[in-house]
Chain A
Amino acid sequence: MTTQHTTWFKAAPISAFPENGGACVKYNDRQIAVFHFKQLDKWYATDNECPHKHQMILSRGMLGDQQGHPKVACPFHKKTFSLETGLNLQGEDYCINVYPVKVEDGFVFIGV
């Protein structure tokens, strides 16, 4: 449990995000990928940058699951990352940050 106070950034209306896909949110100078995983009825947010080749691209990645565990695959080299933990699922050394997401009054908020 975290006792830290989360700041919620109001990103965009729900309709801005494709179902079972992602889109990129600009927050100050940062880029955050937000995914609407409709099949699991969940929302996820991660860094938009894929750490493998440092490309701002993960929001255009493909969603899926590995043995039930939700993941996103980078479009460039198919590196896959857990949407829950941010860890690389192929056992490679890099990982991505994940952020909490909440939906209120038709809007998507990211905990930054």
Chain B
Amino acid sequence: MAQPQKVVVVGNGMVGYKFCEKLLNKAGGGSFSITVIGEEPRPAYDRVHLSAYFSGTSVDELTMAPASWYAENGIQLLTGECVLHIHPEAHYVMTHTGRKIEYDKLILATGSSAFVPPVPGVEKEGVFVYRTIEDLDAIISYAQGAGRAAVIGGGLLGLEAAKATLDLGLETHVIEFAPRLMPRQLDAAGAGMLKRKMEALGIQIHLNKNTAHFEGESNVKGLAFVDNTSLEVDMVVVSAGIRPRDELAKQAGLGVGPRGGIMVNDELQTTDSDIYAIGECALHKGMIYGLVAPGYEMAEVVANNLTLSIAKKGDVKSFNAFDMSTKLKLIGVDVASFGEPFCEHTPHDTIVVEDKLKGIYKRLNVTTDGKHLLGGILVGEADNYNMLLQMVKNQLILPPNPEDLVMPVRKGESAGAGMGVASLPDDASICSCENITKGTICEAIEGQNLGDVAAIKKCTKAGTGCGGCVPMLSDLLTETLKKQGKTVKKVLCEHFDYSRQEMYHLIKMSGTRTFDEVLKKHGKGCGCEVCKPAVASMLASIYNDVIAKQAVIQDTNDRYLANIQRGGTYSVVPRVPGGEITADQLIALGTVAKKYDLYCKITGGQRVDLFGARVEQLPFIWEELIDVGFESGHAYGKALRTVKSCVGNTWCRFGVQDAVGYAVRIENRYKGIRAPHKLKSAVSGCTRECAEAQSKDFGIIATEKGWNLYLCGNGGIKPQHAVLFASDLDDDTCIKYIDRFLMFYIKTAEPLQRTATWFNKLEGGLEYLRDVIINDSLGICAELEKEMEYLIETYHDEWRVAVETPEIRARFTHFVNSEEADPTLEFIEMRGQKRPSDW
């Protein structure tokens, strides 16, 4: 057998990694011996989602593949090692440790570095670039002593960096040299809309600003601009573009472009045919591609052609000019640019939709005969991006009224008339990161009987890169299943062929009270982690029995009536109605926390959270809390959490009603009620709204005459303000409406659907909801009130029941055959308290 070909990859970024993966997939083990040399101290990670690191995503989660992956596949991975020289004649590279590595084929995937303009003072402390995990760590640590940050560069990366400094709690300024943001992707109107949105989020944007020098002694203190203005800042992140890492190639005598980049031909060969360059370091026909999808395509071309040279079958692939379309979410604002966004040299007509109130700008460039789409720009709403891109790529004929493609989507209407995935040809590329076509995906769905998006991802790899095509995968699945005559009903899971609303009625009608009965009567199989908690929640909403009696169908938090935390300990949150608490109760909480060595934190809902309780300690802790009058706070349940309040007119000079008193009444009324998802509420004593009631599932704001009731708001992933449902209500009417509203939601929502999402999907919207709740248009209000009355009458403190019922209490142990606590629990000290050691 022939000696395996020696392939050496310089650079272990996303593209370098993807090349290894593709080469292995195509050639299998044995044909190549692969060595990867990366200068960073860790294996390749997802740089596209780097800003997720600030919001808590760990390095592990960002890692493309762990070091063990390379070992398992016979790849020699050298991290923290720099290549110093390439010797093209002798076919070897030399690293900084003096290691000499021979190659038959050399792949340069050296990527790019941040471009730092040579502005005087740029070397000062507190000036950073935004490129690697180390850069991010340095930014995070420096930010602790800083109040105000400037990001130089208003392009794609610069705005990502601005999000990061904003997330770190800094006052954030973006400095852009050009007259608009994202000049390479957006036109003036689109960039203007983006600027308004960024400013609304608290980011200050400075355009037409050319930095003259950095001010400050050893540490940066400010920026001075050419127009003689200046800005005081505590730190600066420079994000003024990228510079291809071509220094190794240059030194080895390979051709490089006048403005940087390693010159390559269509097969990605450099001027030495045994050396290739891929990704951001490669200069192809005068273009540097700073996006991941073209980089992956380059990796594909080289992996294909190398395999070909050994296997001697298949076709030589070449790299063609790649589409630079891109869609991203910048600080919650959708921005997309596709095809030819500007059409500077192509005859075209434009269709523009601009809604300054909603912050939406959409521009389509169509051919002058109105038949084809050339490209466009989307700001503020980019739901149709994938379809529009496919229309450009596949030269689809436009519908008769192309403006419908960009008209804002209204509630209850389906998006984009006449442009379902069905209209796409089979060779349309759906996942551009992995280059997977519609045909391949549909074949996999049909041929392998795939039933959900996760299965499509696993089987075809589509959607595993940037994830932007996942909504289309879901549409393709629905379409394909429909074509096969399969129903696509929103059923609970494989064990129940009903929606939640149908299940709710069936359970009520049949009078089934346990999961086993429900399964036997209405389902099949044994159940699973999806349907068990869903049925448990419905049973609780209907009968309000003690949930601990059916412990094994409850999600883990409900099973142990506490919130599981890292390490496997639990947290304890007693109910503090309205946030009103006596000094004696505070002392009792402190005494218990001290006795059991619990970490203490004030929650966002005006309560106290005690962390680090071992499972066997829970009943003892609660026994002591119950003794001083505390009850379960249901922080662990899909149930009413807290009714937050401001202090109201009993103390506050602005208050017009007794907010605390009313909050206490409301919280005690609805405590313990289980719903499809958690419920939060708040009462504010005047229009200043200190209790933030408009961000709650039901919020109440005092007026001179009574209460304004707001419904269906939430914080969370997608914050949404509650809508004003009714004004100037008296105490009892307000409660009557809430009774009806809550029961209507509990009976009709999907599993784990919060009121905001439920409301968004409610046909008829606010008017319909008012009709049902106020005008009783469905004739169900008496029933809703009766059902709510039952839940209130059957309230019990679950923790009191658990503590007082020996067979329930006995379940709170770690081992069944030992009294011992879990010996693997480890804590470390943090700011004078404890926390679990890292996982």
**Interface residues of A, Cβ cutoff 8 Å to B:** 11-12, 16-21, 23-26, 29, 31, 34, 37, 39-40, 53-57, 60-68, 70-71, 73, 75-76, 78, 80, 90-91
Contact B839 A60 (CB under 8 A): no
In the assembled complex, B717 has its CB within 8 A of some CB on chain A: no
Contact B824 A64 (CB under 8 A): no
Known: A26-B818, A66-B494. A75 touches B564 (CB 8 A): yes
**Complexed CA–CA distance, A90 and B560 (Å):** 26
Q: How many contacts between A and B, using CB within 8 angstroms?
A: 92
Known: A55-B567, A56-B822. A18 touches B532 (CB 8 A): no
B516 contacts which chain A residues (CB < 8 A)? 39
Interface size on B, residues (CB 8 A): 34
List 13 extra interface pairs beyond A34-B816, A39-B526, A75-B555, CB under 8 A: A18-B811, A20-B553, A31-B822, A31-B824, A39-B527, A53-B839, A55-B566, A61-B556, A63-B552, A64-B527, A71-B528, A75-B564, A90-B458
A29 (CB) vs chain B CBs: closest residue? B823
In the assembled complex, B820 has its CB within 8 A of some CB on chain A: yes
**Complexed CA–CA distance, A6 and B567 (Å):** 32
Known: A19-B552, A62-B552. A24 touches B529 (CB 8 A): no
**Complexed CA–CA distance, A16 and B811 (Å):** 9
Known: A18-B811, A64-B529. A57 touches B568 (CB 8 A): yes
Minimum Cβ distance to chain A for residue B581 (Å): 31
Contact A63 B526 (CB under 8 A): yes
Q: Select A26's contact among B552, B811, B817, beta carbons within 8 Å.
A: B817
In the assembled complex, B454 has its CB within 8 A of some CB on chain A: yes
In the assembled complex, B814 has its CB within 8 A of some CB on chain A: yes
Contact B551 A40 (CB under 8 A): no
**Complexed CA–CA distance, A12 and B815 (Å):** 10
Per-residue interface assignment for chain B, residues 814 to 834, with 1 indicating a CB less than 8 Å from any chain A CB and 0 otherwise: 111110101110000000000
Minimum Cβ distance to chain A for residue B818 (Å): 5
In the assembled complex, B525 has its CB within 8 A of some CB on chain A: yes
Contact B556 A75 (CB under 8 A): yes
Q: Can you give 6 A-B contacts (C-beta < 8 A)?
A: A16-B816, A29-B823, A63-B552, A75-B555, A80-B529, A90-B454
B532 contacts which chain A residues (CB < 8 A)? 62, 64
A24 (CB) vs chain B CBs: closest residue? B815
**Complexed CA–CA distance, A90 and B820 (Å):** 34
A67 contacts which chain B residues (CB < 8 A)? 494
A70 contacts which chain B residues (CB < 8 A)? 526
Contact B529 A18 (CB under 8 A): no
A70 (CB) vs chain B CBs: closest residue? B526
B824 contacts which chain A residues (CB < 8 A)? 31, 56
Contact A18 B528 (CB under 8 A): no
Q: Select A12's contact among B568, B816, B839, beta carbons within 8 Å.
A: B816
In the assembled complex, B740 has its CB within 8 A of some CB on chain A: no
A78 contacts which chain B residues (CB < 8 A)? 529
**Complexed CA–CA distance, A44 and B532 (Å):** 20
10 closest cross-chain pairs (CB), A and B: A64-B528, A75-B556, A21-B552, A73-B529, A65-B526, A16-B816, A23-B816, A53-B839, A26-B815, A26-B818
Q: Select B820's contact among A26, A53, A65, A80, beta carbons within 8 Å.
A: A26
Per-residue interface assignment for chain B, residues 728 to 761, with 1 indicating a CB less than 8 Å from any chain A CB and 0 otherwise: 0000000000000000000000000000000000
Q: Select B556's contact among A17, A54, A60, A63, beta carbons within 8 Å.
A: A60
**Complexed CA–CA distance, A40 and B552 (Å):** 15
In the assembled complex, B284 has its CB within 8 A of some CB on chain A: no
Q: Select A56's contact among B495, B568, B818, B820, beta carbons within 8 Å.
A: B568
Known: A18-B552, A55-B567, A56-B568. A73 touches B528 (CB 8 A): yes
B823 contacts which chain A residues (CB < 8 A)? 29
Minimum Cβ distance to chain B for residue A61 (Å): 8
B533 contacts which chain A residues (CB < 8 A)? 62
**Complexed CA–CA distance, A57 and B824 (Å):** 11
**Complexed CA–CA distance, A24 and B458 (Å):** 32
B814 (CB) vs chain A CBs: closest residue? A24
In the assembled complex, B641 has its CB within 8 A of some CB on chain A: no
Known: A18-B551, A55-B839. A24 touches B816 (CB 8 A): yes
A26 contacts which chain B residues (CB < 8 A)? 815, 817-818, 820
In the assembled complex, B180 has its CB within 8 A of some CB on chain A: no
B438 contacts which chain A residues (CB < 8 A)? none
B545-560 residues with Cβ-Cβ distance < 8 A to A are 551-553, 555-556, 559-560
Q: Select A17's contact among B458, B564, B816, B820, beta carbons within 8 Å.
A: B816
A20 contacts which chain B residues (CB < 8 A)? 526, 552-553
**Complexed CA–CA distance, A31 and B525 (Å):** 29
B839 (CB) vs chain A CBs: closest residue? A53
**Complexed CA–CA distance, A90 and B824 (Å):** 27
Contact B528 A65 (CB under 8 A): yes
Minimum Cβ distance to chain A for residue B204 (Å): 39
Known: A16-B816, A62-B532. A68 touches B552 (CB 8 A): no
Contact A11 B817 (CB under 8 A): yes
**Complexed CA–CA distance, A4 and B824 (Å):** 31
Minimum Cβ distance to chain A for residue B837 (Å): 11
**Complexed CA–CA distance, A71 and B816 (Å):** 21
B428-456 residues with Cβ-Cβ distance < 8 A to A are 454
Most chain B CB inside 10 Å of its own CB: which residue of A21, A37, A67: A21
A31 contacts which chain B residues (CB < 8 A)? 815, 822, 824
B816 contacts which chain A residues (CB < 8 A)? 11-12, 16-17, 23-25, 34
A80 contacts which chain B residues (CB < 8 A)? 529
**Complexed CA–CA distance, A53 and B528 (Å):** 22
A65 contacts which chain B residues (CB < 8 A)? 495, 525-528
A64 (CB) vs chain B CBs: closest residue? B528
Contact A68 B551 (CB under 8 A): no
B529 contacts which chain A residues (CB < 8 A)? 62, 64, 73, 78, 80
**Complexed CA–CA distance, A12 and B532 (Å):** 27
A49 (CB) vs chain B CBs: closest residue? B824
Contact B526 A25 (CB under 8 A): no
Contact B559 A60 (CB under 8 A): yes
Minimum Cβ distance to chain B for residue A103 (Å): 14
Contact B564 A76 (CB under 8 A): yes
**Complexed CA–CA distance, A25 and B815 (Å):** 5
B565 (CB) vs chain A CBs: closest residue? A76
A37 contacts which chain B residues (CB < 8 A)? 526
**Complexed CA–CA distance, A24 and B824 (Å):** 13
